Structure 1
Amino acid sequence: MLLRVPRRWGAVVALASAALFAGMSTASAAPAPVVNITGIEAKNGNLIGLISAAGGANIDPGLSITVSGKNYPVDAITSGQGTPVARSAMLVVDTSGSMGEAGMATVRTAVAAFLKSVPDDVRVGLVAFSGKAVVKLAPTADQGKVQSAVNDLESDGETALYDGVTLAVKTLGTKGERSILLLSDGGDTASKASQAQATAALKTNGVRAEAVSFKSTEGNVSVLKGFATAGGGSVVSAANAGAVASAFTTAAKTLASQLTFSLPLPPGVTAVQNIKVSGVAGGKDFSTTALVDFGEGVAVKATSTAASTVPIVGPTENVIEASKPGGTLPVVNVSPMLGLALGAVFLGLVGAGIALSSGSMKSGRQTRVDSIDQYVAPGAPVKGKKQRQTAVSESLVFLGDRMMEGRESTSKTMALIERADLPLRPGEWWVLRIVALAVGMAVSLLVFNGGLIMTAVALVLGFIFGWVMPAVVLRFLAKRRAKKFDHMLPDVLTLIASSLSTGFSLPQALDAVAKDAAEPAAKEFSRALAETRIGADIAESLERLSDRMDSGNMRWTAMAIRIQREVGGNLAETMRTTAKTLREREELTRHVRALSAEGRLSAYILIALPIGIFLFTMKSNREYVELLWTRPLGLVMLAVGIVSLGIGMFWMNKLVDVKV
């Protein structure tokens, strides 16, 4: 039996059904909210970033991140639970004359509502624009300062909207999650920047933009929509104070609803990559992309130590051989550069051991001098015994002798070695210089490990350090021993004068010095006395002693002895007068050094301070100091700094070096 329905009721039912299906179709076709990734970067071995949905829509914490074609599931957390990404928001407020006092009151109320809802970790700043855009407050966590700065705003003048947006983007910088909240009621009448430049600044710097259109015309709303589209945000039209406050509160809720995700850097992914983040927001599926600079990335670890060419497949599905640069040594699991540096250090230490073990490190001349010393002072112990040299050490030293032979610097070097009383001959000194070069470059590679440019710089610095440091140390040892000899010389001359007064001859007085004086005076006078016993003139032996120790005081003493031997006189009194003169000069020298001690200490501190800070920063914040050699401007700054430091060292040395 069929139920007959009146025609008019059938029409009503049909219309209702159509409306129901249309509503269902509209609901199913509702677009997903706009989702943006902000503040994304590769940092400390992790890929971190923030994800937010326009209007504060809820985002499902379960995300999927696609990197180089491989998916990685990630559980995001609410940013309020301690995000590693710094967040900054800039309020960009129109303070032109068209806003009026009522508009400023609306701004104050809306900002108060915004500050109540914004998360505590978000730093908020303020840019106001009328005829000119001005930063009223840099981003800060002190919300009281923000509200106070907003309360001081006054409306006046024209409108520089584009300048305001550009200035806000510049003030936010380039790090972390950055957003602007723009409130404007008019167009632009006074900007130096164009609308295209302001839009490009938002896109290029990845700054999210939310706009509130307050009493705007349709034409001006389109400008604000362009900013919101470029910044991945939205535009809210607000015709009254309540709507403006609601829009500001919604913007704050968007910040509060942001999720933080963190993913360990996938091995093998380097350079700039386009990643995709997928998930569910507001009940709708979404996917969004972002460019990330992975830098050098994380090296792919070897899975087998059987061979150095085992293929390894990373997330990029590319085959990488462990023997290629950027991988690791399969046996010890260290980078090739580190392994090379450690190997160089090992070879350097082996070379030093061979050089130091090459006999007693004494030349034949030194052995003969020791024999003469034994004759002069029979009880004096011999410092070392002649040992048998190995074939390797003999070859190295022989090669060193050939390299040092005929060079102009060899005689100067041997004079310094003799003055420092080091048991080295030319070939052995050459071997030590080569070992120092290897160790210097290896240590420099360990300290300044990095890319190709940094490796080249490290090798150059290590070469310079390894070549210069042995000479510096040799000069220091020679100067220290010569200075000690000069300090002892007045007492030695007093001892000679006393011996002469008791009836001793000059050779007998020198023999007393060789037996009773301290080093280095005892050894040097013993050598001079030994020369006289094999036929040399005593005055000439003392002059050679002064040349050997580079002592002006000893030259004066030798000259006084030579004059006395030629013209006659009381040699004991001459020695006493000379000793008194030298003692007074020594006293004056020490007095001058005491007066200039503050200047020398200041010089030491000023020289060591930049070097110490550089080494400390290398250890504590390497990324910061690496800019000095990874950027052209940094290289220029580094070169200028080194030159300035060298000039300062020379200048301060001349200031505190007082000749007496």
Structure 2
Amino acid sequence: MPRKVGAAVALALAAFLVGTASANAAGDPVVNITGIEAKNGNLIGLISASGGASIDPSLTVTVSGKDYPVDAITSGQGTPVARTALLVVDTSGSMGAAGMATARAAAAAFLKSVPDDVRVGVVSFSGKAVVDLAPTGDHGKVQTAVDNLKSSGETALYDGVALAVQTLGSKGERSILLLSDGGDTTSKTTQAQANDALKSGGVRAEAVSFKSTESNVSVLKGFASAGGGSVVSAASAGAVASAFTTAAKTLASQLTFSMPLPPGVIAVQNIKVSGLAGGKGFTTTALVDFGEGVPLPTKSGPASVTPVVGPTEDVVKPSTGATLLPVLGVSPMVGIGMAAVFLGLVAIGVALSAPSFKSGRQTRVDSIDRYVTPGAPLKAKAQNRQTAVSESLVFLGERMMEGRESTSKTMALIERADLPLRAGEWWVLRIVGVVAGIATSMSLLRGGQIMTLVAALLGVVLGLFAPAFILRFLAKRRAKKFDHQLPDVLTLVASSLSTGFSLPQALDAIAKDAAEPSAKEFSRALAETRIGADIADSLERMSERMDSANMRWTAMAIRIQREVGGNLAETLRTTAKTLREREELQRHVRALSAEGRLSAYILIGLPIGIFLYTMQTNPAYVELLWTRPLGLVMLAGGIVSLGIGWAWMRKTVEVKV
């Protein structure tokens, strides 16, 4: 009997202890310190309790065995610590349409309660884990990203958690809110590796267990334990939404504490924070790197520090890597500015000294000019400094363009476009185009160091190719206008010949009565004949100058008629009729191919326009293209695909007539 009584008492005592422990485990909130660091002479950090439990603002911070009373403030009053949260959503086939609807409603409940300063992103995982939306302060985009999620495929839970930790980075207060059933079928990352990523990254993890045929709550508990969070089992859509709302309230109830760095504390120290949460005492610890710390007070008085008030400038700025100019010890922007000033000084120096680098031919010409017009040097000296510098730049451009294979082609295009430019002036215009292109691209594509270099490179490319493209466009437009006028011009020449005019007289009538550019070109050809050139040769040079096949046939017809005889007026009428029929056929073909050309313009311009628009509205989303290896591969592939598509569409709609 005594043994039975003793056993009963022991069993009752054990049951009481277990029940008490369970009640404590269920009722005591879990308190964590996140985003803690020594900055600007102060120790700052965030403290939060699970389930949104209230924390008494009177805290005690223990550093190196000494207690410091601290009064914390709510995060709604401004926090110097950047806060980022990721919604990690299971989109595998086991979730189904009902699960996706639950996720959308839960995300809406979370975004309704989360503080405005918290950046929120979305990571989903099915067969593989993807970042659907990088962390952003625009919570409307977050809801849109969640609404676009679809359920299908296998489950890569561990990869999703690892990707979320990687996306959050290493600065500020970071947390993930995981909605999953705990199942995993295709992850390359192991469960242990995902737990280690949470621990080493200092990321707080809150998990919501969604009921499905593959539920595995133990996995979610492991994540919550590694991330210092909790697991909520939600059997219905309302319970899931409630759990998400509780997670948002946890962020809203966070307290920010700040205190001056204790003098003499250096290197990595284990600090302790004590206080009350939910009416119960708590004590939590964290490792902090104090660096060189604050020196001990001297005889002249204690060291002064500036307290942290409100958000700091580096709250949400991501790290852009090490400086690109470590040798000079300056930032990239300062380096680019120094380089621009240096190049400008060199250009001015070369421009001012360019007249001294005259060729022998130029020296002889100057000697003749001084002999013929003795007052010329005096007039040159009377020029103002601005004219002298511009002439020096043009002269330098002439020297740079001299002897180049492309110079003759460029001058032919300038002549065809009827632009009053010399080779040196065109070179100066290209340099101005490069400067304007760099300024334009850097003003449109603003960002970090890499983005600045990309913008400068794009500006150089734009400045080099845009003037050439415009020149070709102007030359082609004037040549087309000349071809369009040629049948009417030939008809007018034939009419003049029929009334008894000679060919030079008929061409003179064209030079006086025809529209531009025909009047100017025929006037030039007529001027060549007046100084001794053959009229057929002058017309052939005009056809080469305008790159006109129609004019070549006309010149050939005139040459043949002059050699073998015949009725030139009738020959020109026949030629004009042929040219009109050919132009009519060309216009018909152009009308039939208009849809294909318009499709090519839209398909090429659409991605470029969307890229520029997104750079202004959501640059963080686009920066993934050049901040990650896969993004660089995608960017290169997109550019190559655009080039191939442009060439393909151009060959498809180009019909020779």
Q: Output the TM-score relative to the length of structure 2.
A: 0.59
Q: What are the residue-to-residue correspondences of 1:389-404 with 2, within 5 Å?
A: 390-404=387-401
How far, CA to CA, are the matches of 1:246 and 1:420 in structure 2? 73
- What's the counterpart of residue 659 of structure 1? 656
- Give SS of 2:611's match: helix
Give, in whole Å, the separation in 1 of the partners of 2:535 and 2:613: 56
* Aligned ranges 1:171-570 → 2 under 5 Å: 177-179=175-177, 196-197=192-193, 199-200=195-196, 202-203=198-199, 206-209=203-206, 228-233=224-229, 256=249, 258-259=251-252, 280-282=275-277, 283=279, 284=281, 289=286, 325-326=330-331, 336=334, 390-570=387-567
Compared CA separation, residues 133 and 480, structure 1 to 2 (3 A): closer
Shift of 1:534: 1.1
2:497 touches 2:569 (CA, 8 Å); kept in 1? yes
Structure 2 vs 1, CA of residues 210 and 581 (structure 1 numbering), >3 Å: closer, same or farther? Answer: closer
Q: Contact 2:157–2:187 at 8 Å: present in 1 too?
A: no
C-alpha contact 2:86 2:164 (8 A) present in aligned 1: no
Q: Which residue of 2 aligns with 1:643?
A: 640
CA contact (8 A) 2:557 2:571 kept: yes
- 8 Å Cα contact 1:65/1:73 also seen in 2: no
Distance in 2 of aligned mates of 1:506 and 1:257: 95
1:578 aligns with 2:583: no
Distance 1:342 1:586 in 2: 51
Query: For residues 88 and 605 of structure 1, what CA distance do their matches in structure 2 show?
Result: 36
Aligned residues of 1:85 and 1:177 also touching (Cα < 8 A): yes
Shift of 1:264: 14
Residues 150-195 of structure 1 show CA distances to partners (whole Å, capped at 9, x for unaligned) of: xxxxxxxxxxxxx9974884797856743459999xx99x999876
Structure 2: which amino acid aligns with 1:540? Answer: D
Tell me which residue corresponds to 1:60: 56
| Superimposed CA distance per residue, residues 39-76 of structure 1 (whole angstroms, 9 cap, x where no aligned partner) | 999xxxxxx9985324653223688999xxxx996432
Q: Give the aligned CA root-mean-square deviation in angstroms.
A: 5.9
Partner of 1:76: 75
Q: Percent identity?
A: 60
Tell me, in whole angstroms, the C-alpha distance in 2 between the residues paired with 1:133 and 1:635.
23
1:179–1:627 Cα change, 3 Å = closer
| Equivalent AA in structure 2 for residue 417 of structure 1 | I
Q: Distance in 2 between matches of 1:165 and 1:459?
A: 41
Deviations 1:99-131 (A, max 9, x none): xxxxxxxxxxxx9xxx9xx868479xxxxxxxx
Deviations 1:265-307 (A, max 9, x none): 9xxxxxxx99999684425465565999xxxxxxxxxxxxxxx
My pick for the range that moved more, 31-40 or 544-553, is: 31-40
Shift in alpha-carbon separation, 1:433–1:223, aligned structure 2, 3 A: closer
Query: 477-486 or 226-235: which moved more?
Result: 226-235
Aligned residue for 2:56, secondary structure, equals coil
The code of the aligned residue for 2:389 comes to V
CA distance in 2, matches of 1:191, 1:434: 54
Match of 2:586 in 1: 589
State the shift of 1:609 in Å: 0.6
Question: What stretches of structure 2 of length at least 5 have no aligned partner?
Answer: 1-26, 38-43, 63-69, 95-101, 115-125, 133-141, 169-173, 210-215, 259-267, 290-304, 313-327, 353-361, 363-382
Distance 1:437 1:495, change over 3 A: same
Distance in 2 (alpha carbons) for counterparts of 1:393 and 1:249: 73
Query: Residues 50 and 229 of structure 2 are in contact (CA less than 8 Å); yes or no, is this contact kept in structure 1?
Result: yes
Once the 2 structures are TM-superposed, how far is the Cα of residue 196 of structure 1 from its aligned partner? 3.3
**8 Å CA contact retained: 1:532, 1:538:** yes
- Alignment CA distance shift 1:404-1:255 (3 Å): closer
Q: Is the 8 A contact 2:110 2:247 kept in 1?
A: no
How far apart, CA to CA, are the structure 2 residues paired with 1:595 and 1:486? Answer: 21
Deviations 1:451-494, CA, capped at 9 Å, x for gaps: 44334333332222211121111111111101100000000001
Corresponding residue SS for 1:390: helix
Q: What TM-score does the superposition give when structure 1 sets the normalisation length?
A: 0.59
Which residue does 1:631 correspond to in 2?
628
* Alignment size in residue pairs: 485
Q: Counterpart of 1:259 in structure 2: which amino acid? A: A
Aligned with residue 613 of structure 2, among 594, 613, 616? 616
**Cα separation, partners in 2 of 1:413 and 1:260, compared to 1, 3 Å:** farther
Tell me, which stretches of 5 or more residues in structure 1 are unaligned?
1-30, 42-47, 96-110, 124-131, 150-162, 213-219, 266-272, 293-311, 317-322, 328-334, 355-363, 365-386
Alignment check: 8 A CA contact 1:531 1:541 kept: yes
CA distance in 1, matches of 2:559, 2:193: 90
